[in-house]
Structure 1
Amino acid sequence: MDSTNTSIVDAIVICSSSAYLCKQIVDQAGVQVQNEYKHLEASGQFPDTTSGGTLPCKKIFFIPWSPISHDPADVKSSLSTFVSTAFILANSAGLKNIG
């Protein structure tokens, strides 16, 4: 996960459905994001954002993603929704670069 520390973007997009990925990013982002994320988890308010903490970004977007089935059309549709949600969050926060 070293690449999260070398890339500079306005926001990092994380699949909140992956507990492993969330833990890795939240741990790297530091105590502030760990506390913010605990609050998000407790409230179940996904998609949502936290600060970037110690990572080189302004925000971290936590967006759930899980296709309904393994059918290519379902996967494509659900990925499209995931990416669209990321763009909507970025636009509403005035952010330009997401990774």
Structure 2
Amino acid sequence: MADCPEVILGSVSIPTEDYGKIQSVADQGRNLWRLSPIRTAQIVGSEHLGLSPTDVYTMVEQFIEPGSGLPHAVVRVKHGPCTFLVELYQPEKRGPKGIWIVDSVLTVER
């Protein structure tokens, strides 16, 4: 989207993310923001994807992927004149003690 070229769209892969290590840190009571899809979208989005911590982040839905049973979440982000959907999933543990990882960022047409 021409209005917000700073935001990275599409499939997200952050090479420094070691899911097992991130889960272990959360299990030790640190970086507990990883247990919230909204906070994960906000922090990872701000640090790696061109979003801002002051953008408006709203939970759209959480669902279990049929077949794999993998939990997913979708967070809407209002970033200036643009709106994005950040898709996340839980790669390690399922439920409230599982970390969230950003899978993709999609633009919402106005």
TM-score (norm 1): 0.32
> More relative contact order in 1 or in 2 (CA 8 Å, sep 6+)?
1
Bigger fraction of residues in strand: 2
TM-score (norm 2): 0.30
